[in-house]
């Protein structure tokens, strides 16, 4: 009976946290016009100069995100910029008019940006999960702890979809799940002590 209630409660919490995550993402996309403007610069990369310019934008944004390590959203924006760059570069590589030199330059840029992409997604997931787990620990009520911890799991799961073999992400997800379980057990022990 208790497990059935717990499973139902978890499903409700997951749905609410996912809905909240989607709302936050919509708000965040509305605020990030600067990001979309710089992303639009990446769309057409047929020339070497436009490729080099787009790569500099990505590297500059990456350095800025690394400098503000306390802001996980800066890393998420850098990750998205890397995704846009890689998509544009892939599209440019399909062009039959691309010279071999430009092709080599694009592939080199792609390699550098893939490294940055992974770095920023993992940093975002790590920082967000750490922050949300800390916030969950500060909550007094069990449902609040579980809800915030599930948001941390959502961040980790988002990164795991892209990098499923990343051991650090799997360990982090396990640690957050252990926190949720221990919070529930502590709550049940407290309820049992009160009832006794």
Answer positive or negative: Cα dihedral of 173, 177, 178, 179. Answer: positive
H/E stretch holding 115 = helix 100-138
**Predicted structure pTM score:** 0.70
Q: Which pLDDT value is given to residue 25? A: 58
Domain ranges of the chain: 33-195
The contacts of residue 12 (CB under 8 Å, 6+ apart) are none
Helix axes 72-93, 33-40, angle to 10 degrees: 20
First-to-last C-alpha distance (Å) of the chain: 20
Name the nearest CA neighbour of 125 among 82, 61, 168. Answer: 168
- How far apart, in whole angstroms, are the C-alpha atoms of residue 88 and residue 84? 6
Q: Which pLDDT value is given to residue 41? A: 39
Mean pLDDT, contiguous 10-residue spans, the chain (196 residues): 50 51 57 47 52 87 85 92 91 85 89 95 92 91 91 94 93 92 90 86
Q: Which pLDDT value is given to residue 7? A: 47
Q: Which pLDDT value is given to residue 117? A: 95
Q: Which pLDDT value is given to residue 20? A: 56
- How far apart, in whole angstroms, are the C-alpha atoms of residue 64 and residue 74? 8
Q: Which pLDDT value is given to residue 38? A: 47
Pair 51, 109: CB distance under 8 Å: yes
Phi, psi of 87 (to 5 degrees): -65, -45
Q: Which pLDDT value is given to residue 16? A: 55
Pair 145, 178: CB distance under 8 Å: no
């Amino acid at each position: 009976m208790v497990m059935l209630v717990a499973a139902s409660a978890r499903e409700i919490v997951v749905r609410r946290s996912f809905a909240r995550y989607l709302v936050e993402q919509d708000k965040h996309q509305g605020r990030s016009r600067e990001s979309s403007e710089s992303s639009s610069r990446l769309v057409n990369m047929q020339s070497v100069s436009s490729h080099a310019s787009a790569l500099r934008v990505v590297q500059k944004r990456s350095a800025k995100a690394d400098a503000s390590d306390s802001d996980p959203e800066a890393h998420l924006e850098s990750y998205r910029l890397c995704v846009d760059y890689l998509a544009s570069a892939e599209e440019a590589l399909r062009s039959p008019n691309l010279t071999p030199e430009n092709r080599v330059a694009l592939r080199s840029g792609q390699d550098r940006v893939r490294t940055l992409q992974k770095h920023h997604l993992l940093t975002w997931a790590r920082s967000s999960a750490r922050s949300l787990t800390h916030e969950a620990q500060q909550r007094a009520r069990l449902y609040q702890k579980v809800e915030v911890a599930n948001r941390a799991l959502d961040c980790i799961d988002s990164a795991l979809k892209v990098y499923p073999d990343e051991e650090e992400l799997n360990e982090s997800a396990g640690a957050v799940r252990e926190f949720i379980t221990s919070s529930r057990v502590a709550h049940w022990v407290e309820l049992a002590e009160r009832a006794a």
